[in-house]
Amino acid sequence: METIVLDIGETLVRDDRRWASWADWLGVPPHTLSALVGAAVAQGRDATDALRVLRP
């Protein structure tokens, strides 16, 4: 293997549409879910913990 590419947070692949789909399914504004994801990541937790806040 000559090259390894890591994508961390929309560098190569935008994931905002995926999170917006989750927000629609959960019935919350996309920016609300985005804020929860940002807070989880800032605390060193997994981004999916934001989903557990809305639907434990």
pLDDT at 23: 94
Closest CA to 38 of 29, 47, 30: 47
Q: What is the pLDDT along the chain (56 residues), one digit of tens a residue?
A: 788 877 666 667 778 888 899 999 999 999 999 999 999 989 999 988 988 888 87
pLDDT at 54: 87
Q: Domain ranges in the chain?
A: 16-54
- Cα 52 from Cα 55, distance rounded (Å): 5
